[in-house]
Amino acid sequence: MQFCQEAKLTGSKTVLAHMVHLGLSVDLPILKETGTTVAHNPNSNCNLASGIAKVPEMSQGGVNVSLGTDGAPCGNTYDMFRGMHLAGIIHKWCES
């Protein structure tokens, strides 16, 4: 996030996908202050085994988080209902 901010890639018109490896103490304030949106793509992240985004922490930290499918090549589907379901069960499990 620091690199993105320095390169002027952040802002209210920017949507960054995945964001599964954030340094929460440093990156969340940058996301919030710049108004950058994060697109959470749970199906793709699980399919590629890339990690699980810290959506609850981002939301609680004032970051705008949207839901995406990432596309068929990475997530095997464009089914938004499947994405909503998966996001719900992943983050319910992560809370426990």
Q: Are 94 and 45 in contact (CB under 8 A)?
A: no
Q: In whole angstroms, how large is the CA radius of gyration of the chain?
A: 13
How far, in Å, CA of 42 to CA of 75, rounded?
8
Kindly indicate the confidence band of residue 17, based on its pLDDT and cuts at 50, 70 and 90.
Answer: very high
Per-residue confidence (pLDDT) for residue 92, from 0 to 100: 81
Kindly indicate the confidence band of residue 71, based on its pLDDT and cuts at 50, 70 and 90.
Answer: confident
Kindly indicate the confidence band of residue 94, based on its pLDDT and cuts at 50, 70 and 90.
Answer: low
Please give the order of strands across the beta sheet that includes 37-40.
15-17, 37-40, 65-67
For the chain, give every domain's residue range: 2-95
